[in-house]
Amino acid sequence: MRVRPYHSARSTAVHVYHEDDDCPAGRAVPWFDKVEGRRDCEPCPQCVGAVTSCLDRSAAAEVS
Ligand SMILES: [Zn+2]
């Protein structure tokens, strides 16, 4: 499910933000480390892929 962007507050964590609460990498972020927003973060590839496959399946199929 699409959610508001969040990312890990840890400086040692990968600097990506997540927009899907089904994202395995996003679920691996402990609740006490979650921060809302996308500050200094790149979009999480898995979240982008999930959103893209929902919005435009044909284009995603051509890429892969
Ligand atoms: Zn993600």
CA 7 to ligand 1 centroid distance, Å: 9
Domain span at 54:
2-63
- What's the pLDDT score for residue 11? 87
Give the 3-state DSSP-derived string for 7-51, with helices as H, strands as E and coil as C.
EECCCCCCCEEEEECCCHHHHCCCHHHEEECCCCCEECHHHHHHH
- What's the pLDDT score for residue 30? 94
Global pTM reads 0.73
Identify which of 14, 7, 15 has the alpha carbon closest to the alpha carbon of residue 37.
7
Whether pLDDT at 6 is above 80:
yes
Select the more confidently predicted residue: 52 or 41: 41
Q: Which residues surround ligand 1, an ion (CB under 5 A)?
A: 18, 23, 25-26, 44, 46-47
CA 64 to ligand 1 centroid distance, Å: 19
Question: What would the pLDDT profile of 8-47 be if each residue is shown by its tens digit?
Answer: 999 898 999 999 989 999 999 999 999 999 988 999 999 9
Number of domains composing the chain: 1
Residue 7 near residue 37 (C-beta atoms within 8 A): yes
